[in-house]
Amino acid sequence: MDSAPSDSHSSALHDNTKVVNDDGPIAVTPLQTNASTAFGTSNSSIRDKEGSIANRLRAQKDLVTKFIFDAATKLPPAQPLPTNQTRASLNSLFGSALEGRDHTVCVRVRPLLKHEQDDAGCYSVVTANNPAVHVHSVDFRWNGRSNIRTNKYDADVVFGPDDSTDAVYNAIALPLIPLVLSNGMGTLLAYGQTGSGKTYTMTGIQERVAQDIFALAEQHRQTREPGWDGVTGGSGFEFTLSFVELMGKQAFDLLSDKKPVSILEDVFGAVHLSGAAEEPVTTPARFLELVERGASLRRTEATAKNATSSRSHAVCCIRVKNTLLPEAEDGILYLVDLAGSESNSDSSDHSRERIAETKEINKSLGTLKDCFRNRALIDSTDSHVHIPFRSSRLTLLLKEAFDPASARQARTTVIANLAPGITDVPQTLNTMRYIAPLRVPVRSTSPPAISDPSNPAVWTNAQLRTWVRANYPGSKIDPAVLCPTESGKQMCRLPMGEFIARCVLCDGVSEMSARLLYEKMWKLLITARLRARKRPGEAAAVKSKPVAKAKLKPDSTSAAAAADDDDDAVTTTADLKPGTFIALNPEHEGMRDKLNTVPVVALLLAPHASGAWTVADMANLEEEKEGDEAGRYELLIESKRVVPKAMIKGRVEVEYVRTSRTYRLCGVEV
Ligand SMILES: Nc1ncnc2c1ncn2[C@@H]1O[C@H](COP(=O)(O)OP(=O)(O)OP(=O)(O)O)[C@@H](O)[C@H]1O
């Protein structure tokens, strides 16, 4: 948002005045009214004053609505909404994924509801004029005179009360689907005060995603032919759906009777929604059935503004596995219906528990704001920017949308929902104050980037082609196929799945080598970003994260790497700490009767004073296999137990395999 609310323009009802905002003074037509008589003065108590204000607002309905109407006629014509008549053409939809901002901020103004229309004291004071929104409020002065103050905010897209959910979906949700089908990450967050239409909007979007995602997956397969022409039946995609609610530090599975689940970040930086059901979905009907089941379990409470207010963040996660590109990570679509924001005055009548809950909700919304804004800032500033994504469960779960070191192509959109009534103005202004800083202006010039030739984001198409030729051994990847027209910046916005799919169209190019090239380009980009942040120490730390090593290690070299690691794989127990992977001693007497059922690798969770540890089990997925293949493990975070110190054989090195979400043991015989 470009204009600060405090600099909004105001117009006295009683005299000729000027409207001032960031763009400078704008003259307005004077209102021919004796407003001071209409509003009057009052020396009564605060409560009387509030009642009197309500009466005055009611009395002034015609006056204020006329002012708003007149003001609206002076606005420039609203810009047309972005539409996707191209729903039939996935290619053009996909093209839109390469353009535009990665962090978008939209506003949806809902219509006045029936009961609001019936209330003579409530009338609409919000004007949607895409891409701006105007919020009008009435200020009463001590002398009985009154002003109409208009706050103008800019957004990327503004939807008005007459815009349908179809229009919202087409503009902001539909373009995320091709990204997700290409192994990227799309996140849509509905924000707003309680009763502003978040659930209405998100439910409508879920219904439309359910209809479109399967059809677009089939189209996606067809656009990839002949590369994927061996596929018969099905689109080559597998979909799963998880649905969780987050309340403070707790998370519950909405698909499994609200079973508690954990959100964990392992030592490799991978975040796990551990213990949540991942239900396979193959049809729109099944998709909707799951979403409805989850929504019915979500926690709601009556609030001042909404009889069934959602008091938790509901996160619907659609995971897309492309079975035709097993080397690419799963695409992920997060549809997040945030808990309603409430001001302190709204929750003042609540119990202590409810007030604490409101505080917790507002805290996590504050963290979300910081993460969103700071991530967007990284692309437009050279200063160091801290992104506190570990400060709340929600932002930890959505880590890849915020983490600058993430190599996943991610797009995040916040849609702020507004109730248009005059009685909601304080909350509406709060919502806009929350949203305003999220919209970070795009940097028009990028001198540091230009001075950094190793940053792929500034390469021309010719430079990109030269780099591809130089970096693919044997030069089998034809740049004309991989990047016929794209600039370096566009290439960095290409989701991994699309990158790999283009590479394997070239003869003799394996998926693994395509993936390595993709990761090499991202590594250059992340390193350049970190260099630009002028924190060499931090850059080095991120570079040396084990996840980078794990990601860049192809299958063919893992045996050699495992052999290299062999010597130091098992160490002393002195340096054990939570998050360390350990081997358990099968000779220990505590293990003997469990030898066939207990996994012998585990993850340390918490130490006990006695020296024992609470550990999480790791299930060996390939017990029958031998050699390097023998050590694929799945983390069973809910399966915990306490093991004595003597049972811990030592620390083991593992690497995280993102594509299968498993851990591979490096060079340790178990
Ligand atoms: N665009 C819209 N058109 C028509 N009705 C709407 C629209 N948006 C919201 N509503 C109605 O407004 C009411 C409140 O909407 P909703 O429950 O979605 O609010 P919310 O922001 O999710 O509230 P909370 O945070 O308290 O859960 C509902 O009755 C809903 O049907």
Question: What token pair was written down for 560?
Answer: 């050699």
Whether residue 145 is found in the same domain as residue 117: no
Rounded distance between C-alpha atoms, residue 641 and residue 598, angstroms: 11
Tell me, yes or no, whether 152 and 165 share the same domain.
no
Query: For residue 630, what is the DSSP state?
Result: G
By residue count, the chain amounts to 670
Check: CB of residue 583 under 8 Å from CB of residue 670.
Answer: yes
Is 199 annotated to bind a ligand? Reply is: yes
Q: Which two tokens stand for residue 42?
A: 């009052």
Beta bridge partners of 410: 185
Give me the CATH number covering residue 395: 3.40.850.10
pLDDT for residue 418: 97
Q: How far apart are the CA of 169 and the centre of ligand 1, in A?
A: 16
Atom of ligand 1 nearest to the CA of 417: 21
Q: How far apart are CA 399 and CA 393, in angstroms?
A: 10
Among candidate residues 552, 581, 602, the one where a domain is terminated: 552
Q: Tell me, what DSSP letter sits at residue 170?
A: I
Both 568 and 484 in one domain: the answer is no
199 lines ligand 1 (CB under 6 A): yes
Tell how strand 185-192 and strand 410-418 pair up. Answer: parallel
Question: How close is the Cα of 195 to the center of ligand 1, in Å?
Answer: 5
Instruction: Check whether residue 60 and residue 107 sit in a common domain.
Output: no
Q: How far is the CA of 197 from the centre of ligand 1 (A)?
A: 3
Walking along the chain (670 residues) 10 residues at a time, the average pLDDT comes out as 44 39 33 36 48 66 80 84 56 54 90 85 89 85 73 92 94 88 90 93 96 86 54 70 91 92 81 88 95 86 62 93 78 94 62 78 90 81 78 92 80 94 90 88 50 78 88 76 82 80 82 84 80 48 34 28 32 66 71 52 84 83 53 76 83 76 62
Of 111, 140, 160, the residue that ends a domain is 160
- Burial label for 56, CB within 10 Å (0-12, 13-18, 19+), is buried
**Cβ(427) – ligand 1 distance below 6 Å:** no
- Residue found by looking up tokens 């991610």 in the block: 410
248 assigned to a ligand binding site = no
Residues 393 and 467 in one domain: no
Residue 436 placed within a domain: no
Asked if 482 and 599 sit in the same domain, the reply is no
Q: Which pLDDT belongs to residue 544?
A: 34
Residue-wise burial string across 263-281, b where 16 or more C-beta atoms lie within 10 A, e elsewhere: bbebbbbbbbbbbbbebeb
Which token pair is 397?
Answer: 């779960």
Q: Are residues 319 and 398 in the same domain?
A: yes
Do 361 and 476 lie in a common domain?
Answer: no
Query: CA–CA separation, 2 vs 154, rounded Å?
Result: 6
Q: Kindly give the number of the ligand 1 atom that is closest to the alpha carbon of 310.
A: 27
Q: Is residue 442 part of a domain?
A: no
Q: Which two tokens stand for residue 319?
A: 């995971």
User: What residue owns the CA closest to ligand 1's atom 9?
Assistant: 197
* CB contact at 8 A, 550 and 329: no
Indicate whether residue 495 lines ligand 1 (CB < 6 A).
no
**pTM of structure:** 0.73
The values of phi and psi at residue 520, to 5°, are: -65, -45
Distance (Å, whole) CA 377 – CA 388: 13
Residue 16 falls inside a structural domain = yes
Q: Give the separation between CA 345 and CA 421, rounded to whole angstroms.
A: 18
Q: Dihedral of CA 479/481/484/489: which sign?
A: negative
Q: Could you tell which of 200, 337, 346, 361 is best to mutate to test the pocket of ligand 1, judged by most ligand atoms within 8 Å of the CB?
A: 200
Is residue 395 one of the residues assigned to a domain?
yes
Q: Was 305 annotated as part of a binding site?
A: no
Tokens of 293: 């089941």
Domain-embedded: residue 309: yes
Read off the amino acid at residue 583: A
Pull the structure tokens for residue 76: 């420039």
In total, how many domains does the chain have?
Answer: 4
Q: Which DSSP category does 655 fall into?
A: E
Which pLDDT value is given to residue 653? 77
311 & 168 share domain: yes
Instruction: Tell me the CA distances in angstroms from 502 to 446, 495, 505, 621, one per residue in order.
Output: 29, 11, 5, 32
Are 503 and 614 in the same domain?
A: no
Same structural domain, 452 and 502: yes
Cα-based angle 180, 185, 187 (whole degrees, multiple of 5): 105
113 Cβ inside 6 Å of ligand 1: yes
Per-residue model confidence (pLDDT) at position 133? 94
Boundaries of domain holding 640: 557-665
pLDDT of residue 256: 92
- Reported as type and span, the H/E element at residue 316 is strand 313-322
Q: Is residue 435 part of a domain?
A: no
Tokens of 488: 């370096």
Atom of ligand 1 nearest to the CA of 300: 27
Instruction: Give the pLDDT confidence score for residue 142 in this predicted structure.
Output: 64
| 670 within domain boundaries | no
Same domain, 63 and 140: yes
In 99-182, alpha helices (H): 114-118, 165-168, 176-181
In this prediction, residue 600 carries a pLDDT of 75
C-alpha 122 – ligand 1 centre gap (Å): 17
Of the three residues 135, 160, 185, the one that is the final residue of a domain is: 160
Task: Output the pLDDT for position 382.
Answer: 64
In a domain, 437, yes or no: no
